[in-house]
Homo-oligomer: A and B are copies of this chain.
């Protein structure tokens, strides 16, 4: 697979507005609808964020099966009916306009990064909302784990790995991971807290040496921004909801829409709802 396009360079919203963490999801969606863009880590804190991918109906079974067979990177929170742009997860939301930024894919190639997809919409699109690791950052922060990319005002770094997902029909591709540097003293809490949120990727897939995942250089993420590690920080890798985008790039369906990496859909759901115990 070719190296994906770099991120757009939109500034994290937590830097744009110091009150972004206190926005309601409805307020956030309304601002995104009006054109505000940027990574959403820390926005509307405590509310569940979601990855988005829309594919034509004749690819929907393959996508749903791909997610089912790869639940760590692709935990499905909701699936629309064909052509539908609403979701039970967010009252009054329009999935075509309410994300900060989208990506438009034709034959597996990124062709546009618009702030809405009204012009690209098709009546046969089935939209998948997939759990996002920003959700467990709230739990990690509450447990005292420092969130380096938020501290540094950057998007979370994401990497294409050498691990293959289980294929499903015409869809195949590598697992994508997000990485957070964690001080050793906080590693136990980071693993414990994310374990309790299996609907948003659950526990890490790997801790430590990036080469075990086929990652050569932490400073060159495939999506998002590089993040500085503290002196003793351990790189901790979680399965990432950008994985379906990597499957689109590898499998080349004729058409797909996704969120821009790090610029998520804000649901009305509370992170606590996805906590198992």
Q: How far is the CB of A172 from chain B (nearest CB, A)?
A: 13
Decide if A61 is an interface residue (CB 8 Å cutoff).
yes
The CA of A69 and the CA of B78, in the complex, are separated in Å by 7
This chain: how many copies in the complex? 2
Interface residues of A in 173-223 (CB under 8 A from B): 192, 195-196, 198-199, 202-203
The CA of A45 and the CA of B212, in the complex, are separated in Å by 34
Are B277 and A195 in contact (CB-based, < 8 A)?
yes
Interface residues of A in 141-177 (CB under 8 A from B): 166
For A79, the chain B residues whose CB sits under 8 A away are 65, 68-69
Q: How far is the CB of A89 from chain B (nearest CB, A)?
A: 12
The CA of A203 and the CA of B274, in the complex, are separated in Å by 12
Are A276 and B68 in contact (CB-based, < 8 A)?
no
Q: How far is the CB of A78 from chain B (nearest CB, A)?
A: 8
For A69, the chain B residues whose CB sits under 8 A away are 78-79
Decide if A76 is an interface residue (CB 8 Å cutoff).
yes
Q: Which of B67, B76, B276 contacts A276 (CB 8 A)?
A: B276
For A166, the chain B residues whose CB sits under 8 A away are 88
Q: Which of B64, B68, B196 contacts A277 (CB 8 A)?
A: B196
Q: How far is the CB of A67 from chain B (nearest CB, A)?
A: 8
Decide if A60 is an interface residue (CB 8 Å cutoff).
yes
Question: Could you pull out 20 A-B pairs where Cβ atoms are within 8 angstroms?
Answer: A60-B61, A61-B61, A61-B64, A64-B65, A64-B68, A65-B79, A68-B76, A68-B79, A69-B79, A88-B166, A192-B277, A195-B276, A195-B277, A196-B276, A196-B277, A198-B198, A198-B199, A202-B276, A276-B277, A277-B277
Beyond A68-B68, A192-B277, A195-B276, list 7 extra A-B contacts (CB 8 Å): A64-B65, A65-B79, A68-B76, A195-B277, A196-B276, A198-B199, A203-B277
